[in-house]
Amino acid sequence: MFDMFKNLGNLGDLMRRANEMREQVRAMQEELGRRQVTAEAGAGMVQATVNGKLELVKLRIDRERIDPTDTEMLEDLIVAAVHAAQTRAAEMLREEMQKKAAEIGLPPGLMG
């Protein structure tokens, strides 16, 4: 009858490990949030930089290579550059999360 309670002593250790893992993941997310990734569109006419939170932090437009009267093309290039930078940053985040999961002994794919 009491066999189901025999591993209850491990509960404290399990909770401690869970808290440690949560803290490690939080610290890693903060560090990744400070990283920046840049991508370009239009062979460098537009460059977008996003951080690890996928927020746009910088946008550079090469005025010498852009026709200022063609706003439709410029808009498309901006969207493409931002999307490319966000995609690169998301991939970086996924790779780092997988590394951290492996380090702390979690199954692959558990941390996104």
Domain ranges of the chain: 7-103
Which of 41, 28, 49 shows the shortest CA–CA distance to 93? 28
Classify domain 7-103 by CATH number: 3.30.1310.10
Q: DSSP for 10-74, please give it.
A: HHHHHHHHHHHHHHHHHHHHHHHHH-EEEEEETTTTEEEEEETT--EEEEEE-TTTS-TT-HHHH
Q: What pLDDT was estimated at residue 9?
A: 61
pLDDT tens sequence across 28-59: 888 888 999 999 999 999 999 999 999 999 99
CA 72 to the chain's CA centroid:
30
Could you tell me the two tokens for 39?
């991508």
CA distances from 79 to 14, 63, 88 (A): 46, 17, 14
Residue where the block lists tokens 């985040």 = 93
pLDDT-above-70 percentage for the chain: 86
pLDDT at residue 109 above 70?
Answer: no
For residue 104, pLDDT over 60 is answered with: yes
